[in-house]
Amino acid sequence: MESNELNSPETNIPPELQGQVAITSLDRLYNWGRSASVWPLMFGLACCAIEMICAAASRFDIARFGMEIMRPSPRQSDLMIISGTVTKKMIPIIVRLYNQMPEPKYVLAMGACASGGGPFKEGYNVVSGVDKFIPVDVYVPGCPPTPQALLNGLMKIQEKIRSEPIKTARWYQKGPDMAEIPVPILGPDLIDPRNITLFPNGERN
């Protein structure tokens, strides 16, 4: 980040000190640090995962964004890149992984399939968008998005991180953590425990 970006715009620095002194707020410094060390979950689903690997490789190099440390464990990661088609058989695992991630956590829906079901939307084993189950922060259209389009989406995540002040961000407040998302069940079709009330003769007490 350039020093003028880190500088708090509300503070006027005398002209003779410009370029030598940077005044910033704790928020900005803190979020700058956070946004420059987002660790994604090493987790590929489908075609988009290959473009994600390309984005991590030498030509696009997400190390420049501090994101090269892809953690295979959800416990150590901040960002979940949903890179591909989410199927009904896979969604319980994705929800479980999401629940295991510590807060603050972000989700990037990479590509059409993860965002809205994509070309496979009508398929009987396809979830029409991962946002049906877990909250998505950034949507990246494209099928698949090129690595540059993914980097563009990752910059949006950074933008979002920078706009979260410590004072008001939910996860720094007192109170319980975010409620876990109920893990979908595989029945005759996918069962979302949150939708039990929708069943015409559902009697789950």
Partner 1 sequence: MSDMYGKGILKGLSVSLKRFIETYLDDLSWWGKRYHTDAGIAHRGSKDARGIFTVQYPEEKIPTPEEFRFVPFLVYDEGPNGEKALRCTSCGICTKVCPPQCIWIVRATDPATGRPIPDPAKFHIDADICMNCGLCAEFCPFDAIKMDHDYELASFHRNVFDETRLSKPASYYASIRPANAAREDAARAAKAASRMVQSE
Partner 2 sequence: MVIPAPAQFADLTARFPEVLKPDTRPGYAGWILDQAALLEFASALRDEFGYDYLSSVTAVDYLAENKMEVVYHVYKTTGGSGVVFKIQVPRSDPIEVPSLVSIYPGAELQEREAWDLFGIKFTGHPDLRRIFMWEGFAGHPMRKDWHEPYFEEEAKPLKSRWPDGKIVMAESKNLYGDNISYPEGFSPGNQTFDPEKALYEALRNYQKDEIGLDTDHIIVNMGPQHPSTHGVFRVAVVLDGEKIVNLKPVMGYLHRNHEKIGERNTFIMNMPYTDRLDYLSSMSNNFGYALAVEKLMNVKPTERAEYIRVMMAEMTRIANHLMAIGALLNDLGAYFTPMLYALEERELLLDIFEAVAGSRMMCNYFRFGGVARDLPEGTLQMIKGLFFERLPRKIDEIDRFLSENEIIRSRGIGQGVLSAEDAIKYSAAGPLLRASGIPYDVRRAEPYSIYDRFEFDVVVRTNGDIYDRLMVRFDEIRQSIRIVQQAVKQLPDGPVMALKPMYQVRVPPGEAYGRVEGPKGELGFYVISNGKPTPWRYHVRAPSFINLTAFGPICIGQKIADVVAVLGSIDIVLGEVDR
Instruction: For residue 77, give the DSSP letter.
Output: -
Task: Choose which of 54, 66, 160, 192 interacts with partner 1 (CB under 8 A).
Answer: 160
Nearer to partner 2, 31 or 77 (CB): 77
CA distance 84 to 28: 33
Select 44 or 129, whichever has its Cβ closest to partner 1: 129
Told to check if 40 binds partner 1 by CB under 8 A, we report no
Environment class of residue 205 by beta-carbon count within 10 Å: exposed (0-12), middle (13-18) or buried (19+)?
Answer: exposed
Residue count, binding to partner 2 (CB under 8 A): 56
d(CA 109, CA 104): 17
**113-142 residues near partner 1, rule: CB under 8 A:** 115-122, 129, 131, 137-142
User: Distance (Å, rounded) from C-alpha 114 to C-alpha 126?
Assistant: 10
Partner interacting with residue 134 (select from partner 2, partner 1, none; CB below 5-8 Å by kind): none
Question: Nearest Cα to 154, choosing from 142, 169, 139?
Answer: 139
DSSP output for 32-58: HHHHTT--BB----SHHHHHHHHHHST
From 7-15, 19-27, 83-91, 173-181, span contacting partner 2 (CB under 8 A): 83-91
Question: Is residue 8 at the binding interface for partner 2, with CB under 8 A as the rule?
Answer: no
Find out whether 190 and 90 touch, Cβ atoms under 8 Å: no
Q: Which of residues 167-186 bind partner 2 (CB under 8 A)?
A: 185-186
Partner in contact with 72, chosen from partner 2, partner 1, none, beta carbon below 5 to 8 Å by kind = partner 2
State both tokens at 123.
């398929």
Q: Which residues bind partner 2 (CB under 8 A)?
A: 42-47, 49-51, 53-54, 57-59, 72, 84-85, 87-90, 93, 97, 117, 119-128, 132, 143-144, 146, 185-193, 195-196, 198-199, 201-205
